Structure 1
Amino acid sequence: MTGFNDQVIKEFRQHKGKLGGMFEGQELILLTTVGAKSGERRTNPLAYLEIDGVTVVVASNMGAPKHPGWYHNIRRDHRVTVETGTETYEAIAAVPAAQERAALFAKVVAAEPGFAEYQAKTSRELPVVILHRIDDRVRGMGDFVVEVHEWLRGELKTLRTGIDDVVAGRTDSLSMGKTLRAHCVSFCEALTEHHTGEDMGAFPMLAQRFPVLAPTLTKLGEDHVVVATLQKRIRDLVEGYVHGESDPVRLRDDFDALASTLEAHFAAEEEAIVTALNVTVPSKG
């Protein structure tokens, strides 16, 4: 099929997506993925549908017993390139959960009954894949995560300033109780709520839709456990601080360890999930 595909790709690009012969009148795209084994870019012409405002492709392989190579590729690297004939754009490929997949496939079959014939030829369930266009203008849940991180970073900065004042002797026990403790409680509660929401909601959803992210999401969840231990230590130090008796330098050193861990965690999280969250859960505004 390689030579045949190459000819189709050449004709597709020469005629801006318009094909003749057996493909005349059909809506096709060119999907470029990164080879799961080779690491090389692979391009495949695919039939596609626009369903409920999203681009959908089916890993039918014409009813063959095995999934097509491009499907294995997107499970290893969800970043893809889509060519329509008139434009080229970057996208990420999502694998919907079972219930969503079933609903989508029913709509696919309603629009293109041939896919039902492909399904009847094989015992494997034909995967349905959503291609989410990456657009810098898209705002969604990923941007909300960044906003939460920025607020948390601001609280970290405020806490660090308060601890510096303690170390330098610029505050007394009363100020410590009213200001630093209040910020510490606010910060710790917000951070715990944020991480719980990710562990219970965002991370499982992303792992389902983007299998390639699963190991990274597992690592980020493990980071949450480390952070929880560090923030408990900080909170205990702040709430148990006795002016003139406790060691403010230890407080500052432990706080810096937490802040450093959190900054690295925030950066890793933003790199891994912001784009995926934006295209999966776009803003309603």
Structure 2
Amino acid sequence: MYNIRFRKRLMPRTLTDLSAMVFMSLAIPAVYWFEIYVVAPTVYNWILNILHTILGTYFVINIIGNFMAIIAVDTSTQGLLLPSQVPPGWHVCAICESTAPPRSRHCITCNMCVLKKEHHCVFAGCCVGLGNHRYFYMFLLLMWVSTMYCSCLNACFIWPYVGGFNLWALVRLVLPGVWLMLEPSLDTLYAFLFSINVIGFLFMSVLMYYYTGLLVTNTTTRENNNPKGQSYNYGREHNIKVTLGERWYLTWVFPTLSSPLPYDGLDWSVQTEEKSVRPKTK
């Protein structure tokens, strides 16, 4: 069973990561303000507007909570009691000068080995691994639902501000940043936020498709790129629990909801009621 640990260093180590984190930290509340205080009062009546505000506030708190959890949860092998000898399936990390368990990999940016490393997330400024993979996936899911909804709602709102549905309006929406610099106004700001939503939805759709495929097969990005390696695919429900925990069906509710992970990141043998087996090589 995995015990949650928290990182001591929360700030990104590179300028690229810091810039991406600042952008995400500003974009989420900016879009929230736009949807709650600008779009909804224009499109909805007062009853729907109240409902929109309640749901929107819940979603943005949930999104920010998962984003903060990605950053705060420690996914590294630092502080863990690791064997001095190399057990079967383990390897030696020359940079950390220590043994490393299966599925863990060293991150050059974070300068540490990460348990079940998925990838290094520039927006969070840290690695996504065993401990924070759940929060990363829920962040993607909630962002995907939110941007899809906002894109549809904003489509009903934006056309009067860009001169109606025509070719010039489409060009301005496709190049919102250029339009905002050439013709700065409240209308162009609205169009810019609309385009950010649409771009965000398309980007999140691609990520959701890719990472959901990895989720249901219990595969990391590196393992997916190396199909001849070891397989940890033991059925969809089991695979989902590896990332989202035993209460995977409730993890969307809020990031603080407990959902224990079945693995500690050191031993990847599969436990069943009848026997314990280790993953086989394809």
* Fold shared per TM-score above 0.5: no
Larger radius of gyration: 1
Give 1 or 2: higher helix fraction.
1
